[in-house]
Amino acid sequence: MKFNRNLSWLLVIIVVFLIPLSIKDNTYFLSVFILCLINIILASGFRVISSVGQLCFATMAFAGIGAYTSALLMMKLGFPIWVTLPLSGIAAMIVASIVAYPFVRVTGIYFAMLTLFFGEVIRLILIEWKSITSGSTGLTNIPSIGTMSIAGFTIDFANYLPYSYFVLIIMIICLLFLYRIDHSRLGTTLKCIEQDELVAKSVGINVVGYKVLVFCIGCFFAGIAGCLYAHYLRAIVPDSFGLFPSIYIVIYTMAGGRKSFVGPIVGAIVLTLIPQIFSMLVQYQPFIYAAALYIVLYVMPGGLVDLPRIIMSRLPRFDGRGKCEGKGVAND
């Protein structure tokens, strides 16, 4: 069973690696592909924070910290991407560690409100700190991540095709790390905390400590995604890291299925593609996302990732003689 699962994941990775090659002549499709990969990192990082029952509305604010960190280090100091990429995540994590302890002392709607206000504070700092961030006009002409020579060939990451593979590799590394957390002792502890904090405390689990840890981990990956986003667009503005983009990350995760590791991945892909496919509806994006979330959670409480099970449970079943035994019933 484990071998089959690993083989399935290997086939998925191979197919995903073939996607950029199949659309290499279409810059628009490549840009959408890159955006999907970045949103997957954001949604998967958010899922870590939500794994202890916390709803964070500042994910994109921490992505903004990572984006501005990488862009400024590269523009002003000439640091390479191999330095700015980890530093972007570390910068977001450092800021998260400063505010994490007072934030996680509260739960539910109060935690959500604190992160919402903090995200707005970060956005205002990016606007008002004009000497560093250039204010509301943001940063433009952000350099690409450079070139690389492999076996005599020079790869220019300013082009979408090489950059899509760079982002894809970083995304896979991030997902592998998050998968290990999800299937480790830490992941089990986080599930216990979410189910009942009082019981977790009674058996000696440092609930506050674990909440601070997962908050910092989630913000680290948001910073990584922000770095990739900055060098993808080559221009960033503070409003890209405000409240609505953070709400979209929450919707990706909830609509996809927060309980499943694959859920945020599915949600990020589907809800990133919908506005891009129906470009005439981009101005109605908030309403589309709200409607999609309502429909998904009403029809599929487990999220989009639960759709195959629901479909299979509704299909007619046949006995060994080919006779229909009736439709299955979904286990809600």
Residue 241's CATH number: 1.10.3470
Give pLDDT, residue 319. Answer: 54
Tokens of 20: 């950029």
Give pLDDT, residue 281. Answer: 65
Q: Number of folded domains in the chain? A: 1
| 67 domain-assigned | yes
| 204 domain-assigned | yes
The candidate with the shortest Cα–Cα distance to 217, out of 105, 89, 122, 102, is 89
| 274 domain-assigned | yes
**Full domain range(s) for residue 93:** 26-283
Instruction: Encode the chain (332 residues) as per-residue pLDDT tens digits.
Output: 565 666 777 888 888 888 888 888 888 899 999 999 999 999 999 999 998 888 899 999 999 999 999 999 999 998 999 999 999 999 999 999 999 999 988 888 899 999 999 999 999 999 999 889 999 888 998 988 887 777 667 788 888 899 999 999 999 999 999 999 998 999 899 989 888 888 888 888 899 999 999 999 999 999 999 999 999 999 999 999 988 899 999 999 988 888 889 999 999 998 888 877 766 666 777 777 777 777 777 777 777 877 777 777 776 665 555 555 555 444 44
What residues are paired with 155 via a beta bridge?
148
Q: Tell me how crowded residue 294 is: count the other CB atoms within 10 A of its CB.
A: 11
CA distance 122 to 111: 17
| 245 domain-assigned | yes
| 162 domain-assigned | yes
pTM of the model: 0.89
| 295 domain-assigned | no
Residues 230, 30, 48, 258: is their CA dihedral positive or negative? positive
| 5 domain-assigned | no
| 1 domain-assigned | no
CA distance 30 to 204: 49
